[in-house]
A and B are shown apart, each in its own frame.
Chain A
């Protein structure tokens, strides 16, 4: 038996932990890339803002997309709901009142992460200490997931957290692809003679999704455009590929009650994915829009099926509506 309210808290708790980890990885990788590439390659921090989808919010509050502003915004800004710090705070808030269904150690791990992030986030702004902060965040998120995997019964509560994690991961992969891959592919045509170190950049795309090693094992050889995109979209075995995440959601739904709509949404998203992966790369951007909509549809079905109705959900009096019209 799982309460709808608790289901929602578990789902979002897991999503926020995953989002904190994902954002930390993307920032860490971009920092590495900046160090690796020669200064002749123009590399800005703006793609990171695009990945988190918070560009407008950033522009409203920061003077420029300089490194320290972008980093402060993405890692430590409590007013940015998708900053790493905000995600950790939100994960803890959600899971706080679902504590009785979590293993005690899992709550402690999350609490440790919370205490660390709230007291150390200012260190992350300086490049030399940023790496350690991000590594620690990623490791603690992994520890949390590991405790769940090792200590939690495979009941509705566990399944709900896994659904949240996979929906979030699929979403993150699609955003990284949309921003980074589309930019790289766009640039492929205009050759002004400057080497753009494409392999380095494609490898960085993979690394920011911790996919590089898995890619090499699967493909052999350097990372290039089409194979990388195909790998991240539809590799069946890599846990960060969108296809894998959606297949997981489909499998998890089999263990949940009343899961028909969620299951259908996940299948439909998988079909969209296959179509996008088979389409020419110049249509990738439009295709990824469809993929993102399909992932959002999975979320919507989870919400409609399992979560409590919003508090202001009062029955509308049809007659009074008719009168005013």
Chain B
């Protein structure tokens, strides 16, 4: 099959929005130079460039860890050589929308741990807050710098059949994937050097610098040259590659919990060959619960006893702040448009996917009656685990999830099944359409920064909607193109 055939195919299947090809079968303007080049190359040459890209990934040691049967296996990062292209004008609107969203979410987090105005004003139900799995009473009364709790976030965006871009979920705890975004670009530049030379594709390489600047800005006021460290759970974590990558690119220490201790002075230190050295900012890549065995999960061997105490004393900044996850709950998600209106007095720029909250009886009854038409999601899982897609699930799966919803309704939300957009993807020597999403990363401190584009994740199985790399998804480079 050639790309031209693919256009015909795309024109006939108008049920999905294609990112590169319009409904008339013609390239979308931002993708025109790319598609012209691809047509000229032919599938065989494209496959050759794909193979070279795969080798690059292996040689650069770009891997992720998959867990199956309790064993972790390092796999080369799956990458599709055909990029996804986004018009820069559209991207500017998305950027504004994400900045707005994170501003509102941070106001919300700061509010729920302090005055709880949002509850007093009747905008957010009190009972949802007290029952929220990620609400940490230990964080009450803390006021992090700039009022920001979720410094590094990754929001998943999807596009429906009519072209509308929605926020599908917000990841405010320890979102991962940004290193793959950068490595994808490196490999993609080698595959299509000519296009990078002749087109205005916005660069992504400045992310580690931006991240470092943000982290350094979080240090307590009196520290002129702050020491920053990346806290990893260790080599067996699936995102260890990324932790090591970011630490290296920022030129900061990659530490594990056992490298750190809190002194009697409530300050955080790392053990170095020159003796204890104070740490001012921790970019933690471990979950809240493991941060401090003294106050959170007592069995944690990944964290640091006393870390919460040092943080509350204002001697160390933690990014993201403990407790920030309260706002990436899929139940809270349903309120984000209201939160934007409440805190910012603005209309949301990027809409939410309509979300049914099983917590409310009327919505729960609707969900249970329409399971076939909905995607049911556990409110606090990440990585696509526990997700049930109604029109693909077996009767047994649906019955099982129905029982789970009735047993603990607050744990579940449901959304209509979206017709996720597609893009041409090289699969086994032919080009086929595959569904995808997009995870841009947002840095929030005194100012905001949004990655140009994001990590495009693509479901490699025909018709599949599950894009998570832990479940067989792949990735594409994402080009924001001025045209």
What is the interface of chain A, defined by CB distance below 8 A to chain B? 1-5, 7, 96-97, 99-100, 104, 107, 156, 160, 256-258, 305-306, 308, 311
Contact = CB atoms under 8 A, between A and B. Distances in A.
Contact of A100 (B254, B270, B277): B254
28 contacts: A1-B253, A1-B272, A1-B277, A2-B274, A3-B255, A3-B259, A3-B270, A3-B272, A4-B259, A4-B273, A5-B256, A5-B258, A5-B259, A5-B271, A96-B235, A97-B234, A100-B244, A100-B247, A107-B61, A160-B273, A256-B273, A258-B273, A258-B274, A258-B275, A305-B273, A308-B258, A308-B271, A311-B258
A96 B74 CA distance: 13
B273 A2 contact: yes
Contacts of A156: 273-274
Nearest to B275: A258
Report which residue of A2, A5, A156 has the largest number of chain B beta carbons within 10 angstroms of its beta carbon: A5
Contacts of B273: 2-4, 7, 156, 160, 256-258, 305-306
Nearest to A93: B235
A3 B235 CA distance: 16
Nearest to A97: B235
Contacts of B271: 3-5, 308
A153 to B, nearest CB: 12
Nearest to A257: B274
Contacts of B248: 100
A305 B273 CA distance: 7
Nearest to A259: B273
A41 B248 CA distance: 58
Contacts of A4: 259, 271-273
A257 B270 CA distance: 16
Nearest to A104: B61
Given A3-B253, A3-B270, A100-B254, A308 B259 contact: yes
Contacts of A308: 258-259, 271
Interface in B246-303: 247-248, 253-256, 258-259, 270-275, 277
Report which residue of A1, A160, A311 has the largest number of chain B beta carbons within 10 angstroms of its beta carbon: A1
A2 B258 contact: no
Report which residue of B234, B235, B274 has the largest number of chain A beta carbons within 10 angstroms of its beta carbon: B274
Interface of B: 61, 234-235, 244, 247-248, 253-256, 258-259, 270-275, 277
Contacts of A97: 234-235
SS of B interface (majority): mixed
Contacts of A311: 258
Contacts of A1: 253, 272, 274, 277
B186 to A, nearest CB: 14
Given A96-B235, A97-B234, A308-B258, A2 B272 contact: yes
B240 to A, nearest CB: 8
Given A96-B235, A104-B61, A311-B258, 7 more contacts: A4-B259, A5-B258, A5-B259, A100-B254, A107-B61, A156-B273, A256-B273
A308 B271 CA distance: 7
Contacts of A7: 273
Contacts of A257: 273-275
A3 B253 CA distance: 8
Nearest to A157: B273
A104 B59 CA distance: 10
Nearest to B246: A100
Contacts of B254: 100
A129 B270 CA distance: 49
What are the 10 A-B residue pairs with the smallest beta carbon separation, nearest first?
Answer: A257-B274, A4-B271, A306-B273, A97-B235, A2-B273, A100-B248, A7-B273, A100-B244, A3-B259, A5-B259
B259 A99 contact: no
Contacts of A3: 253, 255, 259, 270-273
A261 to B, nearest CB: 13
A192 to B, nearest CB: 56
A206 to B, nearest CB: 36
A3 B271 CA distance: 6
B479 to A, nearest CB: 27
A70 to B, nearest CB: 34
Contacts of A99: 244
A99 B271 CA distance: 18
Nearest to A5: B259
B61 to A, nearest CB: 8
A156 B254 CA distance: 16
Contacts of A104: 61
Contacts of B275: 257-258
Report which residue of B61, B258, B273, B274 has the largest number of chain A beta carbons within 10 angstroms of its beta carbon: B273
A229 B236 CA distance: 47
A1 to B, nearest CB: 6
A1 B254 CA distance: 11
Contacts of B277: 1
